[in-house]
Amino acid sequence: MQAEKFDNMIMSVLLLITLVVILLHTFSLDKSYVLDAKTKSPVYAVSDEGIGGTSIAKLIRDDDKFILQCEIKASSYAWPFCEITIAIGLDRKRNFLSPVDLSQFTDVIVKAKYVGENSTSLRFQLRTFNEAYSSTTDDSSWKYNGLEYWPEAVSTSTTIPLNALQVATWWLFDRKIPIKYAGPELENVLVVELATGNGIQPGYYQIELEKIEFVGKVFSNKQVFLSIITMWALAAIAALILNLQRSNRRLVDAQNKAKELKQLNKLLSVESNVLKQQVERDPLTGALNRIGLEQVLTKSLENVSMIFIDIDHFKTLNDKYGHGIGDEILREFTKLVSENSRSSDFLARWGGEEFLLICPNCNLMEAHDIAEDLREVISSHSFTHDIEITASFGVAHRENETTANLIERADLALYAAKAQGRNKVVLSENVNLF
């Protein structure tokens, strides 16, 4: 239960984290990189003058904008232009400084427009460096990633998705750039350019540039979803390990409990055996008592014979040696009879110095032989204090009769044995003869 609560709590925390991350990513965590009149990067006006053309460009830096004054002149140079160059990766002397990585941004908002009579398209370009094909000293080796567009007359803001930028094909062709580098690369931007468009007619043009703003998310969608998936995957692995540990612990607990129960069972079974012994056994001799005898006789035993045994003149023995010695003799007698009867036989103390030996799978003659052997063993045994005793035996085989009847017949045979002078074995069958 405790573990379940813990799991639910962890699950809720993970869900909450996932939700918060998605919400933050969607509605917040924006980043931007702004280039405006306050930028510290060097900003220049460039024209075709010097590369074969005669156009003149002049840059005025206002408080809140750049103004490019441009006189496009017809000349032998086929592609006259004027341009604002913001050298974000160069120093003031146009030396290579350090490129800026703009690849993590998704869009660029260009706030620029033509003012005055003449207007045409604008060319937005990012010039990038790749050591595979660029040289730090030759700016014509820097890739042209650009887009030409028509600025709105009213709204001066144009949003350009950065994935819409294309590499100038004339540059790819001129520089013999390998195809694998033919696509836009925005990792190492050195220069941001805003130039007049292609096919511009001679005349005076003025461009006002307020701001170029690169916008994007602090983390990319890929990063966010990868982190969420990683978090859930780690949580799943942790949950698996935890559950495995819990199962192992439960297994060990169960095994310990089973062991305890087994021990308890053993103890109970020992106790129950002791109790059974106490209930079914005679405390003095350890032979079965009447309850024990009854248990034996209710078993479905086959071919049962019964031997009634009575120690001769036990009263005299008691009188002579005392009751204590009499008890000792009874114990020793029981031991002797048990040791000299079959392991399948049952010895019970019927009362006083009287015993019954129940012999299953034993016909009358076999029972007679057992009794005879016992008689001899007893009479020849030297008991405690060198006492010698004898016993008389009445033997009966169970016929189709009640137990009481069988006992009575064995008792009668015993009586006959006593009558014949003791230390005798008499079969029930022969009782009537006497």
Ligand X SMILES: Nc1nc2c(ncn2[C@@H]2O[C@H](COP(=O)(O)OP(=O)(O)OP(=O)(O)O)[C@@H](O)[C@H]2O)c(=O)[nH]1
Among 249, 276, 320, 323, binds ligand X (CB under 6 A): 323
Give whole-number Cα distances, 376 to 99, 372, 382, 391, in Å: 122, 6, 12, 9
Q: List, in order, residues 6 or more apart from 77 with CB less than 8 Å away.
A: 48, 51, 52, 53, 54
CB of 333 to ligand X, least distance (A): 11
Catalytic residue among 332, 353, 388, 401: 353
Determine if 313 is a binding residue for ligand X (CB under 6 A): yes
CA distances in angstroms from 326 to 7, 287, 308, 316, 320, listed in the order given? 77, 16, 20, 10, 9
Measured from the CB of residue 386, what is the shortest distance to ligand X in angstroms?
A: 18
Provide, rounded to whole angstroms, the least separation between the CB of residue 387 and ligand X.
12
Long-range contacts of 9-12 (CB under 8 A, 24+ apart): 10/235, 10/239
Which window, 166-174, 208-216, 256-264, 320-328, contacts ligand X (CB under 6 A)?
Answer: 320-328
Q: Are 353 and 314 in contact (CB under 8 A)?
A: yes
The reply to whether 355 sits near ligand X by the rule CB under 6 A is no
352 interacts with ligand X by CB under 6 A: yes
- Please tell me the count of residues contacting ligand X according to CB under 6 A: 17
Single residue of 310, 367, 397, 427 touching ligand X by CB under 6 A: 310
Using DSSP, state whether 381 is helix, strand or coil.
coil
Q: In this structure, how many other beta carbons lie within 10 angstroms of the beta carbon of residue 36?
A: 15
Nearer to ligand X, 200 or 330 (CB): 330
d(CA 346, CA 357) in angstroms, rounded, equals 6
Q: With binding defined as CB under 6 A, does residue 312 bind ligand X? A: yes
Q: Among residue numbers 77 through 106, which ones bind ligand X (CB under 6 A)?
A: none
DSSP state of 430: G
Name the residue nearer to ligand X (CB basis): 396 or 417.
Answer: 417
Q: 50 or 324, CB closer to ligand X?
A: 324
Per CB under 6 A, 353 contacts ligand X = yes
If DSSP codes are grouped into helix, strand and coil, which group holds residue 207? Answer: strand
Task: State the pairing for strand pair 425-427/391-397.
Answer: parallel
- Note whether 331 binds ligand X by CB under 6 A: no
Q: Is residue 314 part of the contact set for ligand X (CB under 6 A)?
A: yes
**Alpha-carbon gap, residue 75 to 70, rounded angstroms:** 15
Using the contact rule CB under 6 A, the part of the chain among 112-120, 244-252, 323-331, 381-389 near ligand X is 323-331
Query: Please, which residue, 246 or 323, has the CB nearer to ligand X?
Result: 323
**Least distance (Å) between residue 429 CB and ligand X:** 22
Contact status: 327 vs ligand X (CB under 6 A): yes
CA 392 to chain centre: 77
The per-residue DSSP string of 312-327 comes to TTHHHHHHHH-HHHHH
Whether 399 is catalytic is no
Give Rg (Cα) of the chain. Answer: 59
From the list 79-87, 242-250, 308-316, 377-385, the region that binds ligand X by CB under 6 A is 308-316
Residues forming a β-bridge with 392: 310
Binding residue for ligand X, selected from 75, 166, 220, 318, defined by CB under 6 A: 318
Decide: is 146 part of the binding site for ligand X (CB under 6 A): no
Residue nearer to ligand X on the CB measure, 50 or 421: 421
CA angle 399, 338, 303 (to 5 degrees): 20
* Residue 190 Cα distances to 127, 133, 179, angstroms: 6, 15, 22
The verdict on 403 binding ligand X (CB under 6 A) reads no
315 touches ligand X by CB under 6 A: yes
- Residue numbers annotated as active site: 353
Q: Which residues bind ligand X (CB under 6 A)?
A: 284, 310-316, 318, 323, 326-327, 330, 352-353, 418, 422
